[in-house]
Homo-oligomer: A and B are copies of this chain.
């Protein structure tokens, strides 16, 4: 496995530490990012820094990307009408792992183009946040064919702990969107229960303890209580800083909703969650952790 040469495109808050973990794991990594500071950070871990995405993929047998949105991924690999995409440069047999969170339809388009060119494509979005990226404990939700995943798995294990095969091309994205839509609902629903409880005179820590072991139990109560002071080491207890930003939750809810609209699948709670995060973002709180949505319900300043 350590014979692989890996091009890693997109070295931001998530991609940077992921690429560093590959380099620290003894793999040959050729990184690129538009931002010089991100490139410099990776160089410190012994990776080679290329001067363009095109230069990064030269000679690589595996390409990994971690980019912000569908149009970045499509633009990079498939071209944008003006500049041709990188896919045309890759030799047949290359393994392309896109870890970005994008629309399932975009992942399917990329996979289809890959198939035509003899390139194996996996969509492999992650959960676990920047802390998980740094610690190498991410969860990968993977779409694509099983044999390709078998090839990718040793590399993914350098960056994460859980690797779930969700199904065919695009299925990794689909699973991620469903999960994060549900997470948005859990966060708002739990916030409603806790703030209703407070209005009724209950101590939020006591109520959280009761619900956690009852049928209201969920990940938010377990790991990420939105009421300041109930749990240590969560964003709520440090002014909603750090964590997973409200605007990132809004982006994921938007992707889930777009997929639901395209399939005419009713997601009433999911779309209400999107609207509430949009209102929260418009009020200027998009940069705060997504648990700060409780302030919309309590009428306090986040």
Binding site for B on A (CB under 8 A): 104, 127, 139, 141, 162, 164-168, 170-171, 174-175, 177-183, 185-186, 188-190, 192-197, 199-203, 206-207, 209-211, 213-219, 222-224, 250, 254, 256-276, 278-279, 281-284, 296-299
B196/A190 in contact, CB under 8 A: no
Q: Which 8 A-B pairs have the closest CB atoms?
A: A282-B299, A218-B218, A185-B189, A182-B216, A271-B271, A266-B278, A268-B275, A199-B263
> Is A202's CB under 8 angstroms from B178's CB?
yes
Instruction: Find out whether the CB atom of B162 lies under 8 angstroms from the CB atom of A213.
Output: yes
- Chain B nearest CB from A292 CB (Å) reads 14
Q: Are B196 and A189 in contact (CB under 8 A)?
A: no
Q: Are B127 and A265 within 8 A (Cβ)?
A: no
CB contacts (< 8 Å) of A210 on chain B: these are: 141, 164, 166, 175, 179
Q: How far is the CB of A99 from chain B (nearest CB, A)?
A: 16
Q: Are A179 and B200 in contact (CB under 8 A)?
A: no
The answer to whether A201 and B267 have CB atoms under 8 Å apart is: no
Instruction: Supply 5 A–B pairs (Cβ within 8 Å), ascending by A.
Output: A168-B201, A185-B192, A189-B270, A192-B266, A214-B219
Copies of this chain, count: 4
Provide the bound-state CA to CA distance between A174 and B198, in Å. 10
Contact A203 B298 (CB under 8 A): no
Known A174-B197, A211-B182, A215-B127; judge A192-B162 contact (CB<8 A): no
A181 touches B186 (CB 8 A): no
The answer for the CA separation of A250 and B216 in the assembled complex, in Å, is: 16
Q: Are B197 and A178 in contact (CB-based, < 8 A)?
A: yes
Q: Which residues of B contact A170 (CB under 8 A)?
A: 200-201
Q: Which residues on B sit within 8 Å (CB–CB) of A165? A: 206
Q: In the complex where A274-B271, A275-B267 touch, is A215 in contact with B171 (Cβ < 8 A)?
A: no
Q: Bound state CA distance, A171 and B204, in angstroms?
A: 12
Question: Is there contact, CB below 8 Å, between B196 and A265?
Answer: yes
Residue in B179, B267, B297 whose beta carbon sits within 8 Å of that of A265 in the complex: B297
Please state if B279 and A271 are interface contacts (CB–CB under 8 Å): no
Contact across chains for B216 and A219 when beta carbons are under 8 A apart: yes
Query: With A210-B179, A219-B216 as given contacts, are A279 and B257 in contact (CB-CB < 8 Å)?
Result: no
In the complex with contacts A162-B213, A179-B211, A185-B185, A265-B193 CB distance below 8 A: no
Chain B residue, CB-CB nearest to A273: B269
Q: Are A281 and B264 in contact (CB under 8 A)?
A: yes
Q: A177-B196, A196-B260 are in contact. List 11 more A-B contacts (CB 8 A).
A: A167-B203, A178-B196, A178-B202, A179-B211, A182-B193, A192-B269, A254-B262, A261-B274, A271-B272, A279-B296, A284-B299
